[in-house]
Amino acid sequence: MDGLLGELIAHIATLFEAYWHWLVAGAAAIVALCFLLYLLVQLWGRYRDTRGAFKITPRYYYAKKKRLLRNNVLREFLVPFRDYVDELDEGEKRPMRLPVFLHRAPMAVLATGSKHSQGGRKVFDGRAQINELSRWIHVGPLPDWVPEKGSKDIYWVELGKTGDHTDEELEAKKGIIKNALIVKSVEPYPDKNDNVVSFIVRARETEDPMVAIKAGREFFEENAARPTTKSPVPTSLPLALTVDKQPWSLPIHHTLVFGTTGSGKGSPIQGAIRQLAPYVSKGLVDLYGADPKWAELGPYTDPSLHTPMFKRISGGSDEEGLRDIAATISQVMAILSHRMKNKQTNLDASKGEIDLGRSFTASKKNPMVIFIIDEFFTLKTLFLSILKQESKKPLSDLDAILAMGRSYGVFVMLATQFATQESLGPVRDNIANKITLRHEGTDYITKMMLGEDALELGHNPKAIGPSNPANGNRTAGIGFVKGESGDVEKVRFAYLSDEDIADLALNFRYEDDDEDEAQPTSAPRPDSDGTGSQPQGLPRFSSIQQRQMEKSEW
């Protein structure tokens, strides 16, 4: 027996020595053929997965999809294994199946087999389950109609609605998708197709493209506000750049600017002042201001100014300063009341163009009025805590200006670091332009400013990165804007340095200025009832500022 075994081994060794290269070549050919079949199956799978004729899903996205196909939770939720279990009839043999590696998602098929191996007469078809699951999951680049620009790090996942699944149930799977893909974030995104629930997947923290978009003084020089054929003053003010670096303009209307410290809240204010300055110089626009902290508007009250740009600025957080602010509000209300009382109409076409008085056209006799109030929340709080009952009238006047001012060319620009439903009250209902910069408030505030679906559409000011001197104020001025149309857009406001603001204030002149009459003069305030007399020659400064100027060498 040992001799026969030895002869057999020797014979095999002789054959191997003579034909080993053919054996190796044959094995290599079999491996190569299997690998080629695998590649063809994968290519076919990518072709089957694509959307559109003669296209193939990029391998990167197809690999992500196969990760989702392997996920047990998604698989059981969308296509339960019980639907793919059959019981064999008596005498029926188990069906023959191709090797797993010849399936387009072999690892997913193996995962189903290990999870739901069956015994006895029951047969589970994992291949059919994965094939069906593949129909309900799509991974690819961001659609063209999504405003955000996609990349390999930012892509799109869709889950189809199978059975009685609701949007909420599918959206709840975002955590499962995040863990399966090992990514930074997965957020639901409204889809045009009601039969799917879509997600934007971010593989890692991505740099906000707005950070690289910066504009300064040159922006205003290149994009000066222009009058229109029907109006001698601009109807909108270029103030910012969009994601595609196009100028964005703020329509002339009541405006609310909301943002935390360091968010760049002053940029819309200073930008608006600069764009309006040429029309203030022509006497077609009058500026009024109130600033309890003397922050943004303080430079325009400096005693060294040759010609003050503002008709009147008041400020301060003590009782005297608050009364001055109340008086400024009363003055602006006096202008509105005067225009309402003296409104003129023309119904006779023979006497010129029919005018029902519905719109306002600025002139030197009736200039457009822009009333800028910084730190509105702080001002309202101080009014209520210090002036108490006396605060009712200025706050009531402000509500009236917001409600009726537009038709008479009187507009308000409010800025605040804090915003609540109670603090804004009826104010927000009359404000058409809402500018929301980075803030730390609740999601409710975001929805109040930008709309109920703001977060779902990706408009999240709270996600804007921090901005401070240590990081070069890298996100200052980035925010979201919403106008009368209801559309929301992400922009970055142009920045004016301290030197730019000082240069603007120091070099401002009225077109008909006389060098000897540069110093402003006082005039009586409106009557205490808020209506006042003919509102001509209103004081340019509050009583506090007047006393400061009297003490100065100027």
Domains defined for the chain, CATH in brackets = 59-202 (no CATH), 220-343+368-495+526-551 (3.40.50.300)
Q: Is 402 left (phi over 0), alpha (psi -120 to 50) or beta?
A: alpha
Q: 404 falls in which pLDDT band (50, 70, 90)?
A: very high
pLDDT in the model for residue 346: 66
Instruction: Determine contact, residues 151/201, Cβ cutoff 8 Å.
Output: no
- Give per-residue pLDDT as tens, 268-287: 999 999 999 999 999 999 99
Percent of the chain exceeding pLDDT 90 equals 35
Buried b (16+ CB within 10 A) or exposed e, 279-301: bbbbebbbbbbbbbebebbebbb
Q: 490 falls in which pLDDT band (50, 70, 90)?
A: very high
pLDDT in the model for residue 171: 87
Task: Dig out the tokens for 473 from the structure.
Answer: 């104020």
Residue 66: strand, helix, or coil: helix
Between 148 and 197, residue with greater pLDDT: 197
Between 108 and 79, residue with greater pLDDT: 79
pLDDT in the model for residue 548: 44
The C-alpha atoms of residue 523 and residue 517 are separated, in whole angstroms, by 15
Between 219 and 36, residue with greater pLDDT: 219
Radius of gyration for the chain, computed over Cα atoms and rounded to the nearest angstrom? 36
Between 104 and 433, residue with greater pLDDT: 433
Q: Say which residues have a Cβ less than 8 Å from residue 427's Cβ, sequence separation at least 6.
A: 256, 398, 399, 402, 414
Instruction: Determine contact, residues 396/329, Cβ cutoff 8 Å.
Output: no
pLDDT in the model for residue 506: 93
Mean pLDDT, the chain, whole residue set: 82
> Is the model's pLDDT at 184 over the cut of 90?
no
Q: Kindly report the CA angle at 162 between 156 and 165, in degrees rounded to 5?
A: 90
Range 141-167 average pLDDT:
82
Among the listed ranges 205-209, 393-397, 406-410, 541-545, which one has the minimum average pLDDT value? 541-545
pLDDT in the model for residue 175: 87
The C-alpha atoms of residue 210 and residue 198 are separated, in whole angstroms, by 25
pLDDT in the model for residue 517: 43
pLDDT in the model for residue 313: 94
CA dihedral 502, 418, 219, 206 (to 10 degrees): 130
pLDDT in the model for residue 544: 45
Q: 118 falls in which pLDDT band (50, 70, 90)?
A: low
The C-alpha atoms of residue 481 and residue 256 are separated, in whole angstroms, by 10
Among the listed ranges 7-11, 188-192, 442-446, which one has the minimum average pLDDT value? 7-11
The C-alpha atoms of residue 297 and residue 493 are separated, in whole angstroms, by 18
> Is the model's pLDDT at 256 over the cut of 80?
yes
- Residue 194's CB is within 10 A of a number of other CB atoms, namely 8
Among the listed ranges 50-54, 342-346, 367-371, 439-443, which one has the minimum average pLDDT value? 50-54
Range 201-207 average pLDDT:
77
pLDDT in the model for residue 422: 74
Instruction: Determine contact, residues 441/395, Cβ cutoff 8 Å.
Output: no
Q: 368 falls in which pLDDT band (50, 70, 90)?
A: very high
Q: 392 falls in which pLDDT band (50, 70, 90)?
A: very high
> Is the model's pLDDT at 531 over the cut of 60?
no
> Is the model's pLDDT at 541 over the cut of 80?
no
Among the listed ranges 66-75, 144-153, 254-263, 409-418, which one has the minimum average pLDDT value? 144-153
Range 366-393 average pLDDT:
92
